[in-house]
Homo-oligomer: A and B are copies of this chain.
Amino acid sequence: MSKQKARVTIHEVARRAGVSVATVSRVFNNSDLVVKQTGEKIRSVAHQLNYIPNASARSLSMKRTETIGMLLPDMHGEFFSEIIRGADAIAHKERYHLLVSASHSNKEELETATKMMSGRVDGFILMSPHLDSETLVAEYLNSIPTVVLSSSKARRTHDSIRIDNVDGARQVMRHLLSLGHRRIAIVKGDRGNEDGEERLAGYHAELRANGIDAKDEFIVAGDFTEPSGYAAGRVLLELKNRPTAVFASNDEMAIGVLRYLRERGVSVPDEIAVAGFDDIQISSLIHPSLTSIHVNISELGSLAVERLLLFLSTGKRHASGNRVVLPATLVVRESTAPRKSLL
């Protein structure tokens, strides 16, 4: 079982095919200056010997690894898999590989991971709530092409791809307003989380655009988890002047809100309408199904790889501040059905 079959090298192939290594190399790099017959002979010999070019030697010589490093934060669930799925699809098509590193819950971890990967990859795709300017201009990161996923701090120095959070939030708000709601609460995200901040900004913007004052008591804190949504639900129900609608900054919190409302016997959407953001899979399956904002997450991954490969092919380090914004789409479901009183 542990027979050490020495890997066959390009020299072996060359010898058996009666040509020089250069010619073999040319064949495998699709050079057009090898005569057809020679090429076929070489390919056949190589196939017979089960020859696979040594990637390390190739990288060393060419100074490219054909690998992309993906550094992802400590996120769970669908987001993670969808991003990788999207990224892998494109990378694979372009014969690139994905070196992934998960779970960076703080800046230090992110930095060491980046350093460890540096040298094994041609470029980085970076996603982290902890990205700040200092980190980004660090020597090793500034000398490698990098695309940043949704971090405004980096937008001026690096290419970035983001979700249109503000527009998404405004869509939710417009929808709720169009249903006649005027007392609309929001469950915020973590302090400092950019997606959360942008969604809150959208909330404010749309209220303002409709001449409605935002009430402080309608803005409650959450941390993107279901329990924090549950807690927010309690806070809102205890107000003497309850809201008629709640916009949670993500679906998990919205589900938490729904859970609390159900426990208290508050009917959704008749007494209170609820909407979320992200459109995770469950949102369409629960009861009442949840109105949310859909974003094509796998596209986030694909686009990131596409942009990165573009840099790599043009030889640039990184285009400064080039941005792509992914559209957000409202998906209306039961949790915000028109109120009966309005029908």
Contact = CB atoms under 8 A, between A and B. Distances in A.
Given A113-B92, A255-B285, A119 B54 contact: yes
Given A78-B76, A113-B92, A85 B102 contact: yes
A interface secondary structure, majority? mixed
A320 interface: yes
Given A282-B286, A285-B259, A318-B1, A100 B88 contact: yes
Given A287-B259, A316-B2, A120 B55 contact: yes
Oligomer: number of copies:
2
Contact of A2 (B67, B85, B317): B317
A258 to B, nearest CB: 8
28 contacts: A1-B317, A2-B315, A50-B140, A53-B119, A54-B60, A55-B120, A56-B56, A56-B60, A56-B65, A77-B77, A78-B78, A78-B81, A80-B81, A80-B84, A81-B102, A84-B84, A84-B100, A84-B102, A88-B100, A88-B101, A95-B116, A97-B99, A255-B285, A256-B285, A282-B286, A285-B286, A286-B286, A287-B287
Interface of A: 1-3, 5, 7, 50, 52-57, 59-60, 65, 67, 75-82, 84-85, 88-89, 92, 95, 97-103, 113, 115-120, 139-140, 143, 226, 255-256, 259, 262, 281-282, 285-287, 315-318, 320
